[in-house]
Amino acid sequence: TALLRIDDLVVEYPTAGGTIHAVSGVSFDVRRGETLGIVGESGSGKSTLLRAVLRLTPVTGGAVHYGDHELTSLTGEEMRQLRPDLQMIIQDPIASLNPRRTVRELVAEGLRIWPQRVTDTVDEQVRRGLDAVSLDVDLVGDRRPKSFSGGQCQRIAIARALALQPRVLFCDEPVSALDVSVQARILNLIRELRRTLDLTVVFVSHDLGVVKNVSDRVMVLYLGRVCELAPAEQFFAAP
Ligand code: ADP
Ligand code: ADP
């Protein structure tokens, strides 16, 4: 069953040089528990699409259905209530982590903003979030981001998202800034999470090899349009 349904989404950027058509009538669904990979070359509209679905960028037209909600018509406050459900990690993990905070504080950040997501205790949910990414709170909890590698920072960012017990994890080029050897470990981690936590994943990358590694279905964007959407085994089958 579809957890998210995107209908005819259009996103345009007005600029001095004219209108940029970043996303031009994109429709797809995301099924509960699946990993949907979205692949396309730089400039094909991947980031814009993710950001529009999450209401981080204004939508020109179309609809985003999540459960009983239509996200493009929600008020800011209604959207704020849903944010913990729909978490995102980005390409540059270090940029998303406040350097002045400890790991413990960083992973607890979302739980301070959305106390309704504290179903156990903050400490316990921080511990479980870090556990899920193979970090031990007793070893790393008091350290700050600058003492970690890029891969470890991405783990911390993922732990922060997981502490909120999200339904969907949106990943925007989550391994593109990492060393190749570290990439594989983060991809394995994302695959594992999807299996162990009842998590749905939307995974965006320009790298087909990376998308192949994690996806159940693959959607190809080209110039802001969907040009292919197929199960991964079909997509990657020899012709
Ligand atoms: P990516 O290809 O990984 O999305 P970019 O370098 O294209 O990264 O974009 C980086 C940032 O600049 C993003 O926030 C994006 O929205 C913004 N951006 C990209 N293209 C333009 C543009 N033509 N005008 C203004 N901002 C842009
Ligand atoms: P991708 O993530 O696939 O690299 P983007 O969504 O970043 O693609 O960009 C899609 C198109 O929209 C590109 O032509 C890009 O230059 C343009 N674009 C992205 N962000 C902005 C922005 N903030 N202002 C103007 N144009 C933008």
ipTM: 0.76
**Average pLDDT for 211-235:** 95
pLDDT tier at 82, thresholds 50, 70, 90: very high
Q: Write the pLDDT tens digit of every residue in 164-215.
A: 999 999 999 999 989 988 999 999 999 999 889 989 999 999 999 999 889 9
Q: Is the beta carbon of 154 within 6 A of some atom in ligand 2?
A: no
Res. 39: pLDDT tops 80: yes
**Minimal CA–CA distance to 89: which of 195, 166, 142, 28?**
166
The residue whose two tokens read 């960028």 is: 57
**Minimal CA–CA distance to 30: which of 218, 176, 226, 163?**
218
Query: Based on C-alpha coordinates, what's the Rg of the chain?
Result: 18
pLDDT score, position 168: 97
* Average model confidence (pLDDT) across the chain: 95
Whether the CB-CB separation of 164 and 117 falls below 8 Å is answered with yes
Q: Is the beta carbon of 44 within 6 A of some atom in ligand 1?
A: no
- Please count the CA atoms within 13 angstroms of the CA of 145 that sit on its side-chain side: 21
**Average pLDDT for 108-131:** 96
Residues β-bridged to residue 228: 220
> Rounded CA gap, 160 and 86, in Å?
13
Distance 179 CA to ligand 1 centre (A): 23
Distance 41 CA to ligand 2 centre (A): 11
State both tokens at 67. Answer: 């459960």
Residues β-bridged to residue 227: none
Q: Is the beta carbon of 162 within 6 A of some atom in ligand 2?
A: no
> Rounded CA gap, 223 and 23, in Å?
8
Beta-carbon count within 10 A of 179 CB: 12
Q: Is the beta carbon of 43 within 6 A of some atom in ligand 2?
A: yes
The residue whose two tokens read 């400490």 is: 123
pLDDT tier at 147, thresholds 50, 70, 90: very high
pLDDT score, position 53: 98
Whether the CB-CB separation of 218 and 211 falls below 8 Å is answered with yes
Taking the CA of residue 42 as reference, the ligand 1 atom at the shortest distance is 2
> Rounded CA gap, 159 and 134, in Å?
9
pLDDT score, position 213: 85
pLDDT tier at 111, thresholds 50, 70, 90: very high
Type of residue found at 11: V
Taking the CA of residue 47 as reference, the ligand 1 atom at the shortest distance is 4
Type of residue found at 76: G
**Given ligand 2 and candidates 13, 44, 225, which is best to mutate, with the most ligand atoms within 8 Å of its CB?**
13
pLDDT tier at 94, thresholds 50, 70, 90: confident
Nearest CA to ligand 1 atom 19: 43
Q: Is the beta carbon of 40 within 6 A of some atom in ligand 2?
A: yes
Q: Is the beta carbon of 147 within 6 A of some atom in ligand 2?
A: no
**What are the strands, taking DSSP E only, across the chain?**
2-15, 18-31, 35-39, 61-66, 69-70, 86-89, 168-172, 200-205, 217-222, 225-231
Res. 131: pLDDT tops 80: yes
CA 54 to chain CA mean position, Å: 10
Res. 239: pLDDT tops 80: no
> Rounded CA gap, 163 and 181, in Å?
26
Nearest CA to ligand 2 atom 21: 13
pLDDT tier at 88, thresholds 50, 70, 90: very high
